[in-house]
Chain A
Amino acid sequence: MKSQTSTLFVALAMLFCVGFTQVLGQSQPAKFGKLDDAELHMRTYDKDTSAAAVVLSDYGFSYFTYNKGFKVIFERHTRIKVLKKSGYDAANVSVPYYQRNSNKENVYNIKGYTYNQEGDKVTKDKLESKAVFDEQTSENWFAKKFAMPNVKEGSVIEYSYTISSDFLYNLREWEFQSTIPVAYSEYNVRIPEYFYYKQEQQGYLRFDVSTVERGRDRFTVTWSSEITPGMGGGRTSGGSSQVEANNETFRWVIKDAPALRPERYITTLNDYKSRIDFELQTVKYPGKLPEVMTGNWNQVTSDLLNAERFGSQLNRKGFFKAEVAAITAQHSKPEQQMAAIHSLVKSTVKWNGKNSYYTTGPIRKAFESRTGSAADINLMLTAMLQDAGLDAAPVLLSTREHGRVPQGSPMLSKFNYVVAHVNLEGKDYLLDATDPLLPAGMLPVRCLNGQGRLIKKEDQRWVALTPAGNNTKFFNGDLTVNPNGGMTGKVTESSAGYNALSLRKSILDEGEEKYAEKLSKEVGNYKVEKPVFSNVLELGKVLNIDYRLSASGNGQPVDVIYLNPMLGQGETDNPFKLEDRVYPVDLAVPIDYTYICRFNLPAGYDLDEAPKSTVITLPEDGGKFMYMIQREGNMVQVMSKINILKPVYYAPEYPYLKEFYAQIVAKHAEQLVLKRK
């Protein structure tokens, strides 16, 4: 009886809401098949007149049912206005779903219509079920694909579908933003008291509605005699019973979400999108003890350290005992041992390109097959470091492409990678052995993403994933200028830090010989010859390229010689051209470019003009540009140094960064003028 009253109440409430809809416009989700004339007549979206299409209403509802176990049902209804031909893509829909072993997701009740205004008539084209195609996209992923019929400029399309899922762990997430504007987006989630999900909200937009309501759910639980009932336990005879449970219904609404557009220098666009994610924390059935799915970091740390494909692997040390013993016998200092073990893992196991924090299987298998995922490799590294008696532990992190990790209570699905941490006399080292060119203590750029979580019983904390080293380049030239305006001389280009990492990779990928061939070419007036590489494989040392540089002159002596002292090496283009920026500029690694070149002037010529020395700084020690010209007798030395000191600049700092580079570009274009005496 009770439930009937509440149904009635809900129905009444709905009635009122419908009433309001007429007055307030888009404050409620659209109802299937009920179109507003305004939606059909709309020619542009006034909040973003450039929009090619706009999501008028996007409504999602997740709730639980019981049928031989709990399932999550997700219903979605989307209505889209197509404004321009370039918005037609919105009418091609793909609904991905997942299946693993006997657990599956089912997509059903797919309905859809396209509405067009033709003259004073509204035509309605149905999405036919035979126009819905099923496709397997990978081993476990499938998709229902459909193209809405008769889409034109001005069409309104709407579709709805339901997904039932056996996977309770990941309650479906909701994205309030898209690459086209979203006028109204609402997500409702009704969760029975048995389940507790952690919610993670992200984005730059505020919720227009965010409420929780309490209510009751009723589930019919049936079981046969030979099956252990899902909620009970133990062996019983067959039967069924009605179970009532309290529930909470969450409702979130965001209105007028602008279109999301990609920018340069970001981690992943997903980090900037307004969305909600869920992760199952505890399950508590009546009369049972709660089962923690993931909880506080203490619990997660302990669970991970006991997990078969994580902590357990750290205890399987038998198979590499001999190798580690050889290293500890050879090296006495902990730093040396650390570096030697890191080298051993790098040279033994190749990364298969897969990111993960759980191993694929026993790490011994990766050791034997000499190939493995990030977890296989770096947990093996951690185990070896521990075996050598070093204070080592794993660190969980999320790669830049995978997005930001929320701090606060743990959500394991937000991580996708693991590296090794070593504490040597209070100093932290982070090690990754997935790339043979990475020195010990340096993380690859993909890992430079905020904070990682140290998984260690007695030392639980976040560790900063900071770049070890900068993007360091050093150009050192010695040139003699001829009276005809040409010049010849020697140059050494040195690289360190992340610049050396990427340059080593290019040289090795191409082969030294090929790479040298590629460098030896004529670009305009400048000609590079005989490049020689040193320290390509000595990762601890600076990588050098020595070469001869010459520039052609006029063929005969001239009275005035104009000379760009940056020799084509300067900044010629401002990387920050747009007027403004919404997201932070995330460069990942600080920049340190130094250029020094000495010019020996030809006899009988004098320096008539030279650029002025200058120093430009970014606010709050964010960066510095120094440009200096010195003259000593017959020699002119030009020095330029660019230091970008922070890996991330926030949007308000953008104009300074833009201006900083504008001034560098201008300075680097300036010239030396030599005049015959």
Chain B
Amino acid sequence: MKLNFYTLLLAVCLLFASQAQARPDNPDLLKGANAIVELEETVFTVNSLSKGTTRVKTVITILNEGGKEHAKLYVPHDKLNKVDFLKGTSYDRNGKKIKSLKNSDIKDVSASSADNEVLHNRIMYADLTHSIYPYKVEFEYQTTSSNMLFYPAWVPLGSSKTSVAKATFQVLMPKGVKLRYRESNLPQKVKQEATATHDVYNWEISNLAPIESEPYGPNMLEILPMVRTAPSDFEVQGYKGNMETWESYGKWVSKLNEGRDVLPEATKKKLQTMVAGIDDPMEKIGKVYNYLQSNTRYVSIQLGLGGWQPFEASFVDTKGYGDCKALTNYTQSMLQAVGIPSIYALVNGGSNERAVLTDFPSSQFNHVILCVPMKQDTLWLECTSQFESAGFSGSFTGDRHALLITPEGGKLVKTQTYTAQDNLQSRVATVKLDETGNGVAQVQTRYTGVQHEDHRDILHHMSPEEQRKWLYRNIEIPAFDLKSFAFDLKKGRMPEVSEKLELSLRQCVTMSGKRMFLTPNLMNRWSTLPQNTGKRQWEVVRTTAYTDVDTVVYEMPAGYTLEFKPNDTSYTTAFGSYKASVQVKGREVRYVRTLQMHKGRFDPEVYPTMVEFMNNVYKADMQQLVFVKNVQ
């Protein structure tokens, strides 16, 4: 976990998700459901710019064991979010009370688990699990937040295999304070009313059957009925801001960082001496980034302002550690000291994160990186890694929106994107086989872009012994011994790992009497085949683009004649293309395979075509050559 604020929001969403309300007399709701939310009422009252209260009441019928998570309630809280009360009661199928929560039943535990994490986030937890189904649980609780950066998101159908009979969401805004909201997938829009003191926004939804996820489907948050809310004006611990535009939101973040960039003179001098005589800005950045990587480390200590405000640059300078905000702020200060301007940038880090909703300025980020504008393009620096190449922004922060933070305001920009050609795995192998079918292989592989990340990580985090074991686990050859291996990482804007393997192969070909069988695809056979479910509801989403090129040259044992050779194969689809060919010249067999996968979104109807393509690749990768022993 890099930053905790968005996680908190998500946790709150999930929580909402796990409570709701309904009508058990609708048989559709029983189909495929482990639990029915009979009723969920969420009321969010904004008391002032700096304070809000959320009250939630849920009644859930738990139909079977699969729904038992609904009998548990988790309410996260921290210094800025207090739990005012929490109640719960369970009832058996006849409506007879089983249990009411006592104070001693409510546990309070820390939300952090790792040794390198210190958070003030805690979770209140209550459990009303029962073992005779069906039974009903009712929870009611209220939290008060003084972190008004976040307004709740309402996701009535947030749990899988759960239906919702009825759910309501009400937001009460004091007169004159504006609510911003974004509705998605709702059958019924907001209904507004006004009282003497408040503007009231009401949402209601009923009879929602469970939504099932599908392989290669979109992120659930895209397809679920949902209302996101956000403030216009807000205040957190004395810091006032406005979120109506990315620009104004960025201004607020910038204010938090104000004055935290002061470096000790000695450090400034040291840095300036370090880059003295260097003209090339890229080289200067490299020096500073290297200094960062050798003198600091990432520790998740997120205590200031609900985890929002970075530690001062001088703190990181003396302690040598910080979280993503602190380390990014520190790097920015160091670059400043050597005359290179850079920009603090909020981003949603992770390999499978939902895209930022650009039309709804709000706190949607969980990580901070540094953006360095260059003459030709933009360089992105990940400041929490001791290993990353300067300017590489791969599956964790690449190809998405980031919010640049400047005193003038925020601005959304796209981070680095890599193409299918950039994310390359290119391999050349030569295999020499003896008459028993055993052999020796020399394999050289180059990994670039996103495809270099696995090797980058094992290079930095594993000892040679562990790397060896990793190779044994990951080399896809049925029986082999690893004679030697070597890795070489070339850091840079497009980092690259070269891998050299020497393998001794056991029964690389299968001998059956006078015949010899060879599957020429040595070590890169397609293996995942998704379920071909009948009718598909959602779009097909492919999130990764890459290219694999394999060339394998075999020297076959003497004394055999070719009996069968597979035809050259080629498939071209919207999802990717595949080409494999085999040439036999005397004792030499040359196999070339190129697979390129595209990313993108496709209509639901084309899903079977994608599965078929994958199965075709699977089959093609299993093709064999057959040789017959010459009669003496």
Contacts and interface: CB of A to CB of B under 8 A. Distances in A.
A619 B386 CA distance: 50
Nearest to A149: B319
A37 interface: no
Interface stretch (B15-23, B81-89, B505-513): B505-513
Interface string A369-404: 111000000000000000000000000000000000
B: interface residue count bin: 35 or more
A335 interface: no
A573 interface: yes
A50 to B, nearest CB: 3
Contact of A524 (B321, B507, B615): B615
Nearest to A50: B463
Given A52-B463, A524-B615, A572-B478, A610 B512 contact: yes
A50 B464 contact: yes
B486 interface: no
Contacts of A370: 130-132
B319 A133 contact: no
Contacts of A610: 512-513
Contacts of B624: 562
Given A135-B118, A573-B478, A151 B297 contact: yes
Nearest to B303: A133
B319 A578 contact: no
Contacts of B387: 85
A517 B514 CA distance: 42
A509 to B, nearest CB: 9
Interface in B456-484: 460-466, 469, 472-473, 478-481
B297 A91 contact: yes
A187 B132 CA distance: 52
A525 B115 CA distance: 49
Interface in B497-556: 506-507, 510-515, 517, 529, 531-533
Interface stretch (A137-145, A467-475, A637-645): A137-145
Residue from B130, B131, B506 with most neighbouring chain A CB atoms (10 Å)? B131
B109 interface: yes
A308 interface: no
B107 interface: yes
B443 interface: no
B202 interface: no
A480 interface: no
Given A577-B472, A609-B514, A261 B619 contact: no
A18 interface: no
A152 to B, nearest CB: 6
A80 to B, nearest CB: 14
Contact of A522 (B132, B293, B299, B615): B615
A89 B116 contact: yes
B517 A371 contact: no
Contacts of B531: 517-518, 521
A669 interface: yes
Contact of B110 (A136, A560, A579, A612): A136
A151 B320 contact: yes
Contacts of A307: none
A100 to B, nearest CB: 14
A522 B512 contact: no
A161 to B, nearest CB: 15
Contact of A150 (B131, B320, B466): B320
A610 B130 CA distance: 59
Interface in A486-543: 517-518, 521-525
A671 B515 CA distance: 9
Given A136-B109, A669-B507, A522 B532 contact: yes
A553 interface: no
Given A52-B463, A517-B531, A611-B512, A562 B564 contact: yes
Interface in B425-454: none
B129 interface: yes
A574 B480 CA distance: 9
Nearest to B319: A149
A125 B296 CA distance: 13
Interface string B74-118: 000000000000000000000000000000000111101001101
Given A133-B118, A135-B110, A135-B112, A662 B479 contact: yes
B131 A369 contact: yes
A151 B321 contact: yes
Interface string A47-76: 010111000000000000000000000000
B460 A85 contact: yes
Interface string B292-306: 011101010100000
Interface string A629-656: 0000000000000000000000000000
Contacts of B564: 560, 562
Interface string A116-149: 0000000001000001010111110000010101
Nearest to B619: A524
A521 B615 CA distance: 10
Interface of A: 48, 50-52, 85-86, 88-89, 91-94, 114, 125, 131, 133, 135-139, 145, 147, 149-153, 259, 261, 349-350, 352, 369-371, 517-518, 521-525, 560, 562, 572-574, 577-579, 609-612, 662, 665-666, 669-671, 673
10 contacts: A50-B464, A85-B297, A88-B297, A125-B320, A150-B318, A518-B531, A609-B513, A666-B507, A669-B507, A671-B510
Given A125-B319, A151-B321, A609-B514, 10 more contacts: A133-B301, A136-B109, A150-B318, A151-B297, A524-B622, A577-B480, A611-B512, A665-B479, A670-B510, A670-B512
Closest 4 CB pairs of A and B: A50-B463, A150-B320, A92-B116, A666-B507
